[in-house]
Amino acid sequence: MNYYSLNRKAPNITFSEAVVRGLAPDKGLYFPESITPLEPSFFETIEGKSNTKIAFEAIKQFIVPEIPEDVLKTIVEETLNFDFPVVEINENISTLELFHGPTMAFKDVGARFMARCLGYFNKTNTNDVTVLVATSGDTGGAVANGFLSVKGVNVVILYPSGKVSDIQEKQLTTLGQNITALEVDGVFDDCQDMVKRAFMDVELTSKMQLTSANSINIARWLPQLFYFLFTYKQLKSKHKDIAFSVPSGNFGNICAGMVAQKLGLPVKQFIAANNTNDTVVNYMTTQSYEPKPSVQTISNAMDVGNPSNFIRIQELHNNNFEALKANLCSFSYTDEETKTALLELYKDYDYVADPHGAVGYLGAKEYLKNSDAHVVFLETAHPTKFLGVVEDVIEQTIPLPPQIEAVMDKEKVAISVSSYDELKRFLLR
């Protein structure tokens, strides 16, 4: 399988090259040359397959033979050593819990998968690779944990000062070893712009090998398709159409779900549930894509004003707006609406959600006004990662799980930067 740049001004390359480079020389995101649907029998018998078997069969066309099948099976098994339960909220709505991994966020899957792929490609390389990543919340912790102690890989994480939760900050600033956190005076978009600029800086890239672990990287993005398949496995016996309401920031998660759909997964509709960062919501109404500065909200991982992966979503629909509109609807919600949803989930259904899942729940409810499908909203992070917000709303104390307790008393270590020049000096030190 080769990969091409969505800007179409760079040579096609292999999976390993796409993983190591992260971004194409023409600033485009890499995309697979083809997506071959799985055999119908795969879905007909999916209930009898293990999660690792499902994931291996779904991803292998994109990776084998560059990573041999036996090695890929091991990577999948090591990546997916935790559960992905679907929890029923009511007759028409369920939630897919994606927070049972080591950092209690959905990004554990992509980060762990990519770390193992990069480790495989780098095992005979004498030069270190620097993973440069921007985070609006959970990416940083997941990447830090996934790449911790990986030989020949150094990780540099940029995060916006004061705009991630205390627990999220702890998860990305306390590990040490090959992980360095840079606290940026700005918003997530500033962090992401600095990362993209670094990849285009010839002086920098001529002296060091850079790659990204944001969802712009093909190995971080693609494995997110797994848990859409896991959901179908658990709900197939309901014999109802399934729609997914996905809390959306950089749009990598929902885009991966659409790849699963291309593989043959039956999906009635995708719902992009947004906070007040509503660039895509406006686009779906006006057909005019106008990025804007991100706005800080209580669902901070979705505070993205120019979602990188939306171009991949357009490519999956052949850049046809009408085809996209038939498959995707998008809604946005305020912090107050999000808090109301948190309280409703707790009081009416005895379910403690996080602010991102609450936005997904609101999207599910809105879609059901005109549909009889069963809607699954993605609960993308454990509610204790947003203790201040959640406990204030539901007026209850939430017990800390072991993964969170383990970092609470550790000392934050971060380097402050306020400009690209400062980032560049740090990288070249």
- How buried is residue 358: exposed, middle or buried, by Cβ count under 10 Å (0-12/13-18/19+)? buried
In angstroms, the CA 359 to CA 263 distance is 27
CA distances for 404 relative to 157, 169, 383, angstroms: 19, 11, 11
Q: Is 397 left (phi over 0), alpha (psi -120 to 50) or beta?
A: beta
Number of Cβ atoms within 10 Å of the Cβ of 69? 12
CA distances for 253 relative to 65, 183, 244, 277, angstroms: 25, 25, 11, 16
**Sheet of 179-184: strands edge to edge?**
209-211, 129-134, 153-160, 179-184, 415-417
In angstroms, the CA 180 to CA 55 distance is 31
Annotated catalytic residue: which of 60, 107, 123, 292? Answer: 107
Largest CA distance in the chain: 59
Instruction: Tokens for 51, please give them.
Output: 């999660």
Phi, psi of 211 (to 5 degrees): -145, 165
Q: Indicate if 107 belongs to the active site.
A: yes
Give every CB contact of residue 53 below 8 A, 6+ residues apart in sequence: none
Give every CB contact of residue 426 below 8 A, 6+ residues apart in sequence: 156, 182, 415, 417
* 3 state SS for 336-368: HHHHHHHHHHHHHHCCCCCHHHHHHHHHHHHHH
In angstroms, the CA 387 to CA 399 distance is 10
Query: CB of 419 within 8 A of CB of 154?
Result: no
Question: Prior bond to 247 cis, omega within 30?
Answer: no
Query: CB of 141 within 8 A of CB of 102?
Result: no
Residues designated catalytic:
107
